[in-house]
Amino acid sequence: MNKNELNDFINGLRHKNPDYRTNLYQRIDLIEEKILCGNMKITTTADLLLLTEADDDLTRVYFCSRNETGLQTIIPSLSSKPEKTVVDVIGRGEKLEELSAALCRCGFQHAFRFIRMSTKTPILPDVGITNVEIAKREDASEINWIIRSTFETTYAHIPNLSEIEADCEKGFVHVVREGTKIAAFAYIAIENHLNHCLRYFIALPEARGKGYGKQLLRHGFEQLPLNGLFYLWIGTYNPTIKKYEKYGLKHDGLIDDILTIAI
Amino acid sequence: METIYKILESIRPESNFKNSENFIDDGLLDSFDIVSLVNELEEEYDILVDALDILPDNFSSLNAISALVAKSGGKIED
């Protein structure tokens, strides 16, 4: 299916249809490219366009569905192992809850819920001398290892080494070192001139309680331009939410629900 | 533009679109709102927005939305 056929198929599913549901917000030319490269597979039924994308050892599912009947055909249309399949849905309010509930009726279950916390006016942590520096490309391996040994990689998109190297070169990673080793870092992706996303914020266990987190946050906040938005996604049960609230971040209503196939 | 603004207000009455430089980044519109907005624009301007064009960037501001309407064959009079 080429780009124009994809376009026509999706328009056929969604046009003047209030029951249309989707979690697909990628450019169609990129999707076409991924299909051509073999990274993304496409399946269609009368009521569904299903795209599956391999991401490390899991399969991400994107769908455009005419209605709930289409959603019911997602799982039967999958060829990969059920426990390694995830769907994520981003939104807020009743419509998000309705879609998550509909997916659960169709054989999925909630795995995680992340909320977006954001602010345009962060409260700067009070710190003394800071030892924050910008990570170098050579730090990427160490940062990669810390991320992968800290985070549950099953659901979150973890950048690969080359992405981390590129982001170090862009100045996205701020570190505090103890000797020659990285003790803590903040990985802040600058998505456009106004959007700063705190993707990872990690202090090694032995480096906690030394004020490195405050130093890194302050340094990150100071990079934010006027009217810029500082944000992060965090699990709903993460106790660190309260700490971020102290610095002016609050849940802005956006939710990312991660669903897996119910076993 | 005023018509688009009214549609936006009907979808998210609690949001202040006039104070935002980017509706998506600021969290004023989410993915569900975009689907609703496309439906409303198609109805109001009697257009079909290509699925190719249903991307966050095309809904980030009043100018971006009106450009999308124009691209889809709609006539913006206000």
From B66's Cα to the closest Cα of chain A, the distance in A is 19
Tell me the per-residue pLDDT of A115-141, one tens digit each, with 9 for 90 and over.
999 999 999 999 987 899 999 999 999
Specify whether the backbone of A45 is left (phi greater than 0), alpha (psi in -120 to 50) or beta: beta
Q: Does A54 touch chain B (CB under 8 A)?
A: no
Tell me the per-residue pLDDT of A84-125, one tens digit each, with 9 for 90 and over.
889 999 998 888 999 999 999 999 999 999 999 999 999 999
Residues with Cβ < 8 Å from B51, sequence gap 6 or more?
Answer: A6, A7, A10, A11, A14, A28, A64
C-alpha B46 chain-centroid distance = 14
Q: How far apart are CA B29 and CA A51, in angstroms?
A: 24
Please list every residue in chain A whose beta carbon sits closer than 8 Å to the beta carbon of residue B40: none
Q: Does A87 touch chain B (CB under 8 A)?
A: no
Q: Which residues, listed in sequence order, are joined to residue A115 by a DSSP beta bridge?
A: A234, A255
**Interchain pair A95, B32: CB under 8 A:** yes
Residue identified by tokens 């051509």 is A36
**Which residue of A18, A95, A229 is in closest CB contact with B25?**
A229
**Interchain pair B52, A253: CB under 8 A:** no
Substitution target in B30, B33, B40 with the highest count of A β-carbons within 10 Å is B30
**How confident is residue A174, by pLDDT bands cut at 50, 70 and 90?**
very high
SS (H, E, C) B23-60: CCCCCCCCHHHHHHHHHHHHHHHCCCCCHHHCCHHHHC
From B47's Cα to the closest Cα of chain A, the distance in A is 10
> What's this model's pTM, rounded to 2 decimal places?
0.87
**Interchain pair B35, A10: CB under 8 A:** no
Pairing of strands A58-65, A85-91: parallel
Q: If DSSP codes are grouped into helix, strand and coil, which group holds residue B70?
A: helix
Q: Look at residues B42, B33, B35, B44 and name the one whose alpha carbon lies nearest to residue B9.
A: B33
Q: How far apart are CA A199 and CA A158, in angstroms?
A: 10
Substitution target in B52, B58, B59, B72 with the highest count of A β-carbons within 10 Å is B52
In order of their start, the domains of chain A are 3-113 (no CATH), 123-223 (3.40.630.30)
